[in-house]
């Protein structure tokens, strides 16, 4: 039963992101989004820790101390800012966020919006993805400042102006500037 629930959840999420990507002109990314979730390394763990109202990666992390499924996922999907964390070239040994290509920042925004829709269900509001982003404090994110600024701008725009205006802005301004 958990396998069916998990499959339906990740498929619903994937379809929401795909439709949103298509609406802003990111067709290839829409088709390829989160395919790794169907791999055994991610899918089987997702089934085991499936709850339906939050990511099974969080439950795996709580149960085992880390999420192997998440480590697999973030290393294969460029729309996660964690994919872009590396050592700086300044000689320090600190990990820093690298600048993400704009098309992946847009996909990250759409991913967060879709996740909010899936997990919040009928209670979803356009401010949910922003609230989740702000919940832990944005200084905790190891994200390039330009990446963080654009993501936050899009999340705020969604919260304040809604999906239609935000998607139009992404199509006409954000993706035209790349």
Q: Read off the pLDDT of residues 47-99 as tens digits, 9 standing for 90 and up.
A: 999 998 889 999 999 999 999 999 999 999 999 999 999 998 877 778 999 99
Distances (CA, A) of 77 to 1, 72, 81, 98: 27, 9, 9, 15
Angle at Cα 110 formed by Cα 38 and Cα 58, nearest 5°?
55
Which residues have a Cβ under 8 Å from the Cβ of 89 and sit 6 or more positions away? none
Query: Percent of the chain beyond pLDDT 70?
Result: 99
User: How confident is the model over 136-153, as pLDDT tens digits?
Assistant: 777 889 999 999 999 999
pLDDT at 111 over 70: yes
pLDDT given at position 114: 98
């Amino acid at each position: 039963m958990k396998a069916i629930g998990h499959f339906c959840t990740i498929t619903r999420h994937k379809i929401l992101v795909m439709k949103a990507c298509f609406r802003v002109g990111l067709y290839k990314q829409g088709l390829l989004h989160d395919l790794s979730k169907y791999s055994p390394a991610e899918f089987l763990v997702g089934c085991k820790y499936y709850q339906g109202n939050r990511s099974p990666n969080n439950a795996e992390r709580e149960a085992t101390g880390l999420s192997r499924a998440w480590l697999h996922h973030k290393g294969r999907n460029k729309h996660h800012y964690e994919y872009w964390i590396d050592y700086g070239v300044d000689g320090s040994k600190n990990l820093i966020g690298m600048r993400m290509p704009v098309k992946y920042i847009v996909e990250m925004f759409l991913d967060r919006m879709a996740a909010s829709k899936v997990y919040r269900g009928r209670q979803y509001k356009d401010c949910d993805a922003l609230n989740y982003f702000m919940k832990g404090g944005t200084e905790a994110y190891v994200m390039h400042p330009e990446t963080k600024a654009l993501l936050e701008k899009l999340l705020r725009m969604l919260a304040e102006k809604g999906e239609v205006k935000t998607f139009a802005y992404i199509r006409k301004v954000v993706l035209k500037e790349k």
